Amino acid sequence: MRALALGLHALNLAAVAGLLFLCQQLLRAHDALAAMAVLGVAGLLVLLQFSKRLQAWRYVMPGVSAVLVFIVLPMAFTLGIAFTNYSSAHLLSFERATDALLQRTDSEGLGMDVSLLREGEGAAARYQARLRDDDGKDWLSARFTLPAPGAPATGTTVMLGALEDGQPLPGEPLPPRALVELLPQLRTLVLRTPDDRPWRLSSLHRITDQAQRYALIDADRLRDLRDGSIVTADHAVGVWRDASGQALEPGFRTTVGFANYARIFGDSSFFEPFVRVFVWTVSFASLNTLLTFALGLFFAVALSWPALKGRGAYRVALFLPYAVPAFISIPVFRGLFNENLGEINLVLDLLFGVRPGWFSDATLARAMVLTVNTWLGYPYMMILAMGLLKAIPEDLYEASALAGAGPVTNLLRITLPLIARPMAPLLVASFAANFNNLTLIALLTEGAPDYLDTQVPVGATDLLASYTYRIAFNDGGQNYALACAISSIVFVIVALLAYVNLRCFGGAKATRR
Amino acid sequence: MAMVMTSSQRWRVWALHAVLIAFVVLSLLPLLMIVSISLRPGNFAGGSLIPKAISFEHWRLALGLPVVDAQGQVTPPPFPVLQWIFNSLKVALVSAAACLALSVTSAYAFARMRFRGRDGTLTAMLLLQMFPSVLALVAIYAIFDRLGDWVPWLGLNSHWSLALAYTGAVAQHIWLVKGYFESIPPDLEEAAAVDGASRWQSFVLVLLPLAKPVLAVVFVLAFLGAMIEYPVASVLLHDEQQLTLAVGSRLFLFNQRYLWGDFAATALLAGLPLTLMFLLMQRWLVAGLTAGGVKS
């Protein structure tokens, strides 16, 4: 017992130590702001551990921090990225993109075979490079030293001189194995011929003429060493531009303000598909909530009818679609609906001689998506409705039976009004969940069929969630920032739904599906 | 209800039976077809529901065994299915344990203590779980991408990252555990406190043993949730050997390479245990959702 309590203290201390380590790493990565935030969290943990007044928070902390780190932080990050140009063309930070340009080299396609000669051993070893260029001329470098293998590499520049005939060669050529060990040092080695041309190692046995292409002038300017022109950083767009205004690869991440939103709402080639996707998303979510609820309620009412025999068996059989994991049942439908090989078209072909294009016709694809998701979702509504029906007093139905009411009257006058209130927040939550049902679209249609008249790849069955997924991870551009901007719009919609749930229905619990 | 069945009512019972049976058939047919497809030789569609010839080739491939056909041609297993199952189990078990550990103490505080910010925090958790992680996929990807620069085993393509990302589900589990704690009368803990037990002792020694059922339920729910999760896993994992089953099983069905039979066998192999678990957990999947509905 005591050991357990001590164990918890130890866990907390370990968390603090871990945070301090992260903080140090962040500082080394020159991310002072994040490091301070991490340090603050560590301090808070220590405070919690020893403050009597904050005892309750000591218990609350683990769960709340998980929610903060894995729900709130990603949401904040999403909002942050939405205002940048983060994409596959602007992947690196400014520093890394600049480094990439500074390491870029210029070559005229010349090369020499090289072998490395060594005199002496260990730290006292001295090296000389023996070279033969493509015209058959031999060269020998001045003597130089290299840091020991494993030590940090430092750049060395060595002059080359023509090798006289019969000049004795010091030492033995190094075997490839030893070369590989020295590779980090050799990579920084610059050999210079008398015409001042720099040569760098391009493979184990070959050097090529590789002159540095750009040199740093100040933080925002580089000099193009080839023609002396100036290259400037364009921080508004996130690229380095040469004198003619041409953008250089790679671009870098930068803040672009509302540019992504302006693109979504202002550029018709983005706005038009966005509206289409939005309308379909809303209709899909509402239709689906309606269908699953209607079907689920029907089954729940039917299965609560005492005159019906075998209700337990029906219940299990009808619940089964929900019990099968979606990552299995959705691909099953993908296979069954397959236009050429699927069982459904096989049967339809046999019976009616038709082969509907479930994945190529927009209306059919949408109908299929709705059907499949209704199949997946109605058992959940059925279970929910069953729970609520149990709570309706039996005498209400007895009274209505005495009054001679039929099942339809019962449903409309007793059942629906009584379950409407507890059901409403669950329906709103179900709407929100279907609104973001990425799994269904990603596994069933991947948005197919794609519209042919749009510039961005988007399909008739794409929901907002799968549309952003495609923008971010699938189709070429990998525009993370644009995806985040769309996600942030969905945040607002979900927040509205959550607000409605909280205000109108007293914060009944949101649900899984 | 001892009522005499009128003939119209009897007719209605039969009609209802007919409708229900029709729906049961609709619900079960896709699942039965999968059984049949997994036992049919070849990867082609067609053939009857009851296969004419039974072949275990798809099952062998799913279990990682090569298949030798009549011509002596060897078909190696197309995908490392067992490795995927192992990956899924690993991620799900780690994240379920983490979810459980993170949710019990919070739930205890919310159920038994009164402190400033309690109601606000509870409501916030409720609202936050309406924001699914699919909306923050890019952020999750970017966070773990950068985290990997500092802590390599917490980067992309790591099972630890994935398990960690799944612990965001604690919000809903805290509510479930809290509800259960509140249903246990506090008398025993109060008695323990009178006997000199500290808050921590009465929580661990008195309350937790009484709450074992809900702990098991949360563990299984978190486990199942992680086993079937697709979007986050598909973003964080890349290497074929590292995939979880939910991501990997997608690779079977492409128009160019349509491994219908192999998919069916894999689906059954992995899906049956999960389906059984879901059936057993049925009551708890929606537990607490309807509580306090009509009754109050």
Neighbours of A16 (CB within 10 A): 17
The CA distance from A280 to A451, in Å, is: 13
What's the pLDDT at A407?
Answer: 78
For residue A378, is it within any domain?
yes
What phi and psi, each to the nearest 5 degrees, are found at residue A141?
A: -85, 165
For tokens 């006997």, name the residue.
B195
The CA distance from A306 to A389, in Å, is: 13
Q: Which of A161-175, A358-372, B159-173, B245-259 has the highest mean pLDDT?
A: A358-372
With an 8 Å Cβ cutoff, is A92 touching chain B? no
- Taking contacts as CB-CB distances below 8 angstroms, the residues of chain B near A489 are none
What's the pLDDT at A512?
Answer: 35
CB contact under 8 A, B113 and A59: yes
CB pairs under 8 A between A and B: 309
CA distance B73 to chain A (A): 25
Interface test with B, best of A12, A52, A54, A64 (most B CBs within 10 A): A64
What's the pLDDT at A477?
Answer: 73
Residues A206 and A218 in one domain: no
- Taking contacts as CB-CB distances below 8 angstroms, the residues of chain B near A433 are 132
For residue A472, is it within any domain?
yes
Domain count across chain A: 4
What's the pLDDT at B293?
Answer: 34
The CA distance from A305 to B62, in Å, is: 44
- Taking contacts as CB-CB distances below 8 angstroms, the residues of chain B near A494 are 130-131, 135
Q: What is the mean pLDDT of residues B113-120?
A: 87
Q: Considering only the beta carbons, identify the residue of A81, A320, A469 that sits closest to B142.
A: A81
CB contact under 8 A, B132 and A332: no
Chain A from 350 to 379: CB within 8 A of any B CB: 375
The CA distance from B55 to A445, in Å, is: 30
Query: Could you tell me which residues are beta bridge partners of residue A157?
Result: A190
CA distances A171 to A130, A133, A214, B244, Å, are: 11, 21, 37, 56
Sign of the alpha-carbon dihedral angle for A400, A401, A403, A407: positive
For residue A39, is it within any domain?
yes
Question: Cα A71–A74–A76 angle (5° rounding)?
Answer: 105
- Taking contacts as CB-CB distances below 8 angstroms, the residues of chain B near A432 are 130
CB contact under 8 A, A316 and B279: yes
For residue A131, is it within any domain?
yes
CA distance A504 to chain B (A): 14
What's the pLDDT at B148?
Answer: 86
Virtual CA dihedral for B219, B222, B223, B226, nearest 10 degrees?
A: -170
Chain A from 66 to 85: CB within 8 A of any B CB: 66-67, 69-78, 81
Residue A272 in 3-state DSSP?
helix
CA distances B151 to A14, A22, B91, B109, B156, Å, are: 16, 8, 18, 33, 11
Q: pLDDT averaged over chain B?
A: 84
The set of residues, in sequence order, having a beta carbon less than 8 Å from that of B228 and lying 6+ positions away, is A325, A326, A327, B246, B274
CB contact under 8 A, A63 and B102: yes
Q: Render pLDDT for A228-256 as a digit per residue (tens, 0 to 9).
A: 888 999 988 899 998 888 888 888 999 99
The CA distance from A191 to A155, in Å, is: 11
For tokens 């279907």, name the residue.
A434
- Taking contacts as CB-CB distances below 8 angstroms, the residues of chain A near B105 are 59-63
CA distance A30 to chain B (A): 12
Chain A from 396 to 435: CB within 8 A of any B CB: 398, 407, 418-419, 421-422, 426, 429, 432-433
Q: pLDDT averaged over chain A?
A: 85
Interface test with B, best of A308, A315, A328 (most B CBs within 10 A): A328
Residue B49 has pLDDT above 70, yes or no: no
Residues A226 and A204 in one domain: no
Residues A299 and A177 in one domain: no
Residues A285 and A228 in one domain: no
User: Taking a C-beta distance cutoff of 8 angstroms, is the pair A98, A220 a contact?
Assistant: no
For residue A168, is it within any domain?
yes
Structure tokens at A263: 């693109």
For residue A256, is it within any domain?
no
Phi-psi region of A30 (alpha: psi -120 to 50; beta: other; left: phi over 0): left
Q: Considering only the beta carbons, identify the residue of B150, B271, B282 that sits closest to A383.
A: B282
CB contact under 8 A, B171 and A302: no
What's the pLDDT at A300?
Answer: 92
* Host domain of residue A48: 2-82
Q: Render pLDDT for B71-81 as a digit per residue (tens, 0 to 9).
A: 778 888 888 99
- Taking contacts as CB-CB distances below 8 angstroms, the residues of chain B near A22 are 150-151
User: Taking a C-beta distance cutoff of 8 angstroms, is the pair B171, B102 a contact?
Assistant: no
Q: Considering only the beta carbons, identify the residue of B127, B138, B249 that sits closest to A328.
A: B249
CA distances B254 to A144, A338, B279, Å, are: 59, 10, 31
CA distance A455 to chain B (A): 22
Structure tokens at A99: 């480094």
- Taking contacts as CB-CB distances below 8 angstroms, the residues of chain B near A56 are 109, 113, 115, 118
CB contact under 8 A, B26 and A375: yes
Provide ipTM, 2 decimals: 0.88
With an 8 Å Cβ cutoff, is A53 touching chain B? no
Residues A241 and A117 in one domain: no
Give the CATH number of the domain where residue A38 resides: 1.20.58
Domain boundaries, chain B: 13-75, 81-258
User: Taking a C-beta distance cutoff of 8 angstroms, is the pair A116, A148 a contact?
Assistant: no
What's the pLDDT at A476?
Answer: 65
**pLDDT < 70: residue spans in chain A:** 1-5, 7-8, 29-30, 149-155, 475-476, 506-513
Angle between helices B170-183 and A55-67 (to 10 degrees): 140
CATH classification (class only), B81-258: mainly alpha
Residues A349 and A453 in one domain: yes
DSSP 8-state code for residue A148: P
Q: Render pLDDT for B50-99 as a digit per residue (tens, 0 to 9).
A: 677 778 888 888 888 888 877 778 888 888 999 999 999 999 999 999 99
Domain finish residue from A48, A82, A116: A82
Angle between helices B159-166 and B137-150 (to 10 degrees): 130
CA distance B191 to chain A (A): 18
Residues A206 and A242 in one domain: no
The residue of chain B nearest to residue A349, with distances taken between CA atoms, is B46
With an 8 Å Cβ cutoff, is A301 touching chain B? no
Of residues B158 and A406, which shows the higher confidence score?
B158
For residue A254, is it within any domain?
no
0.90 surpassed by pTM: no
CA distances B253 to A5, A338, A468, Å, are: 51, 10, 23
What's the pLDDT at A508?
Answer: 45
Lowest mean pLDDT among A341-350, B20-29, B232-241: A341-350
Residue B42 has pLDDT above 80, yes or no: no
Residue A481 in 3-state DSSP?
helix
- Taking contacts as CB-CB distances below 8 angstroms, the residues of chain A near B107 are 63
For residue A88, is it within any domain?
no
Peptide bond preceding B41: is omega within 30 degrees of 0, i.e. cis?
A: no
Residues A177 and A271 in one domain: no
- Taking contacts as CB-CB distances below 8 angstroms, the residues of chain B near A387 are 286, 289-290, 293
Lowest mean pLDDT among A195-199, A292-296, B168-172, B202-206: A195-199
Residue B197: pLDDT band (50, 70, 90) is confident
Q: Considering only the beta carbons, identify the residue of A317, A328, A398 that sits closest to B271.
A: A328
With an 8 Å Cβ cutoff, is A148 touching chain B? no
> Terminal CA-to-CA distance of chain A, rounded, Å?
40
Interface test with B, best of A327, A380, A397, A468 (most B CBs within 10 A): A327
User: Taking a C-beta distance cutoff of 8 angstroms, is the pair B269, B158 a contact?
Assistant: no
CB contact under 8 A, A332 and B30: yes
Sign of the alpha-carbon dihedral angle for A38, A44, A46, A49: negative
The CA distance from A30 to A33, in Å, is: 9
